Structure 1
Amino acid sequence: MDERALINEALKAMDKAYVPYSHFKVGAALLHESGDIIHGCNIENASYGATNCGERTAMFRALAEGRQVRTFKAMAVVGDTEGPIAPCGICRQVMIELCGPDMPVILGNTAGVYITTTVKELLPGAFDSSSLT
């Protein structure tokens, strides 16, 4: 799957967001090695702390559906931002563990501007399971 197609899937996921407070929708599309695409969107809560980002929704959904850690080929994330959207720090930390450092991450916006990076470029010097030994 090419980058543009994965961005389009993230735009579809963005439409599913539940954002009654911020009205800021985020969509994510996670490409599994099988070719399956798992959508994720941000889901807000009045307590704010219980809010979940689109990126984590996609990753958690994938694992809950039985896919294994680090079997993902790429992720696209989009939002209505001036430039390509940037994942929050918590999402970057979860990506390191569940997706691996070398997975491509395509960051885009609703205007069609996007860049491609990797998880390790998003979170250099990451704390991971090797840090626990």
Structure 2
Amino acid sequence: MTTTSPNFSPAEPVTEKDGLIHGVSAQELQALGEQCFDAKTRAYCPYSLFRVGASLLLEPTSSTAPNSTSSSTYPTSHIITGGNVENASYPVGTCAERVAMGTAVLAGHRLGSFKAVGVSTDIVDFCSPCGMCRQFLREFLGLETPIFMFNKEGKWIVRTMGELLPLSFGPDVLPPREEMRKTQEEDKAKVA
């Protein structure tokens, strides 16, 4: 189901470099917004009634099969979406960001595949990914990846993954498995 999306505009001053905002073109940003607005309409949230849509803009070298249609001229095959999915056992629900990223991972995308993230809700304020989603996204996003947060009017703010999750713990901070195994074996030998 495609809905009419608002005209997207920044809610705060934005620095552009070569016509790009955090490396994202106006056309890509429009498509990112349209797709997360559309995903929001497909959310399953009969308990909270709080709809959230998420969209992941893939790097041009990372492609997947189209997952929806859009009035945008930007190829939707480069955007993967998700909506929140609730459950009668409230804590068992899944956020839109994790639905989208899980879909992307199953399609074979990994760290380096994502250019930007979009998140949309039905409120006037801006809603960032929750703490659990921030850590989940961190597994697959570079710290410089922009996350565009759209309010119900289409206004947006942007923060990078590193700004939303400072001092984060990701796969890049883990020592090599061999080093961890060696440390564990040394610790066992000391105890024995």
Per the normalisation by structure 1, the TM-score is 0.92
Tell me, in whole angstroms, the C-alpha distance in 2 between the residues paired with 1:43 and 1:93. Answer: 19
Q: 1:3 aligns with which of 29, 33, 38?
A: 29
5+ residue gaps, structure 2, are 1-26, 61-76, 176-192
What is the match of residue 65 of structure 1?
107
1-structure distance, mates of 2:56, 2:115? 8
Question: 2:3 matched to which residue of 1?
Answer: none
Q: Pairwise mapping of residues 19-30 of structure 1 onto structure 2 (< 5 A)?
A: 19-30=45-56
Does the C-alpha gap of structure 1 residues 3 and 49 become closer, same or farther in structure 2, counting only changes over 3 Å? same
The 3 A distance-change label for structure 1 pair 67 and 131 is closer
- Counterpart Cα distance in 1 of 2:52 and 2:42: 9
Instruction: List structure 1 runs of 4+ shifted beyond 4 angstroms.
Output: none
Aligned to 2:135: 93
Among 41, 52, 56, the residue aligned to 2:98: 56
Larger Rg: 2
- 1:30 Cα deviation after fit: 0.3
Q: Distance in 1 between matches of 2:46 and 2:115?
A: 32
Residues of 1 paired with 2:172 and 2:59: CA distance? 24
Map of 2:44 onto structure 1 = 18
Number of the residue aligned with 2:117: 75
Residue pair 1:102, 1:120 contacting (<8 A) in 2 also: yes
SS at match of 1:114: strand
Letter in 1 for 2:129: P
Deviation by residue 1:41-62 (Cα, 9 ceiling, x = unmatched): 1000111121110011111100
8 Å contact kept, 1:70–1:98: yes
Alignment: residue pair count: 133
Cα drift, residue 94 of structure 1: 1.1
CA displacement at 1:69 relative to structure 2 = 2.8
Of Structure 1 and Structure 2, which has the larger fraction of its residues in strand? 1
Q: Distance in 2 between matches of 1:53 and 1:72?
A: 18
Structure 1: tracts of 5 or more residues without a match: none
- Distance of 1:9 and 1:81 partners within structure 2: 17
Percent of aligned pairs with the same amino acid: 41
**Matches of 2:108 and 2:172 in 1, distance apart?**
24
What displacement does 1:71 show? 0.8
